[in-house]
Amino acid sequence: MKRRQFLHYASVGTAGLLASPALAQDSDAQPGKLQRFDGQDVFTRILDKSSAENWKRLPIGELIGKIAIQLKGTPYVGFTLELSRDVESCVVNLNGLDCVTFFEDALCMARMIKRGRGTPEDLLAEVRTTRYRGGKMGDFTTRLHYTTDWFVDNQAKGVVKILTPELPGAEPFTQKVGIMSEHPDHYRQLAAHPELLPAIRATEEKINARSLKYLPMDKLEAAEPLLQTGDIVGVATTEEGIDIAHTGLCIRDEQGVVHFMDASSSRRNMKVTLEPQISKCLNWSSKLTGVMIARPLEVRAGKPTTSKARRPLFPSKLDRPILRPRTANHRQLHVVPLLKGSRVGEVFEFDYAGRIGGRGLVIMHQHAIAMPLELLRQKQPADSSVM
């Protein structure tokens, strides 16, 4: 990719999203080494602070926010994933981040901490789960290059929930992708291996066949009360062949203002930056049309998800009662019947509206515990109410 092309993509915020490997040809690639980790000092500093302040106890979104703040000021560096034209490698570089690796590394480090783990290999395992289709790394085509594809695949894996359809004012997303198959010469592995192109085209066709929604920019401010720290933001664009031009995170401050945090490629920043209020700062290009939002989900026990996507927590419709017993400290704890995919005693955290299966059943508090229906009938307290 020529400098003029790079500046064009940087100006619309896509340089880090669909990075051209042509700019990474001088990398000290080690073909045959399938993973690489850089930034041990940063990694250790964050883990030490997490341990000292017991971040593991925090909800996943708050934990992501803590990690993101620790990454503030990290230089913007594009194309860190492109080490070789022949071999796909799983790369984490905490010394330099682009807009995607910023939110993905913060998310994956939070998931690692939640599991009680703390080695670079553990972080790389989490990154493989989120970065590759079905959580399984193969060749270049298995990487989730388009952000909407990342959202959909990671929702299927139980990593995030796409919130956009539930936000007031959401509209159908009609933008089509295709830049990778139309310009394979901009991608080192595609230029070197044209046999990969059919798989890329097939993926683009699947993406273009999906029915997704986005939130127009003029509806974003009204939706801010529904956003939480750690929510992942994809900024939609009309740039031809691209779905999402830029990505970042929501950070809600102590005054309740929702900020946008990103690895900024703006010439005045070129680093991880805490931006102003999200509805006021996504205006650097007239081609930016709105946002998509995905909320990270709490980590379930066990190893990172691989190729098997776990089943949804709840079915699309509940035909059994949800009970609301009072606990000893007078805080409400929801109890739900033992449903397929849940375990006895498992505690779940609901999303902002408490919607089950996206069908509108509203839970006013944020946690539930699964128990067998027979036990619920036996133990139903006198002050319980059925919703």
- DSSP notation for 315-356: -SS--S--B--B-TTS-B-EEEE--TT--TT-EEE--TT--S
Strands (E), the chain: 35-38, 90-93, 160-162, 171-173, 212-216, 232-237, 244-252, 258-264, 271-277, 288-296, 334-337, 347-349, 367-371
pTM, rounded to two decimals: 0.74
- DSSP E strands, 212-364: 212-216, 232-237, 244-252, 258-264, 271-277, 288-296, 334-337, 347-349
- Report which secondary-structure segment, H or E, holds 131: helix 120-131
The whole-number pLDDT of residue 303 equals: 67
Contact 224, 258 (CB under 8 A): yes
d(CA 326, CA 231): 30
Q: Beta strand 367-371 with 347-349: parallel, antiparallel or unpaired?
A: antiparallel
- Rounded to 5 degrees, what are φ and ψ at 371? -145, 155
Whether 215 contacts 293, CB under 8 Å = yes
57 vs 114: CA distance, rounded Å: 8
CA angle 215, 229, 111 (to 5 degrees): 110
Rounded Cα gap, residues 267 and 14, in angstroms: 14
Between strands 367-371 and 334-337, the pairing is: parallel
Of 61, 108, 56, the closest CA to residue 231 belongs to 61
Distance CA 273, CA 221 (A): 20
> Do strands 244-252 and 334-337 pair parallel, antiparallel, or not at all (unpaired)?
unpaired
Which residues have a Cβ under 8 Å from the Cβ of 55 and sit 6 or more positions away?
Answer: 49, 63, 66, 113
In Å, how far are 46, 111, 169 from 272, measured between CA atoms?
Answer: 15, 20, 30
Tell me the C-alpha distance between 296 and 163, whole Å: 10
| Beta-carbon contacts of residue 280 (< 8 Å; ≥ 6 apart) | none
- Residue-wise pLDDT tens for the chain (387 aa)? 333 343 344 444 444 455 433 333 333 334 334 899 999 999 999 999 999 999 999 999 999 999 999 999 999 999 999 989 999 999 999 999 999 999 999 999 999 999 999 999 999 999 999 999 999 999 999 999 999 999 999 999 999 999 999 999 999 999 999 999 999 999 999 999 999 999 999 999 999 999 999 999 999 999 999 999 999 999 999 999 999 999 999 999 999 999 999 999 888 889 999 999 999 999 999 999 999 999 999 998 666 755 443 333 333 333 333 444 333 333 344 444 444 444 444 444 433 333 334 333 333 334 444 444 444 344 433 332 222
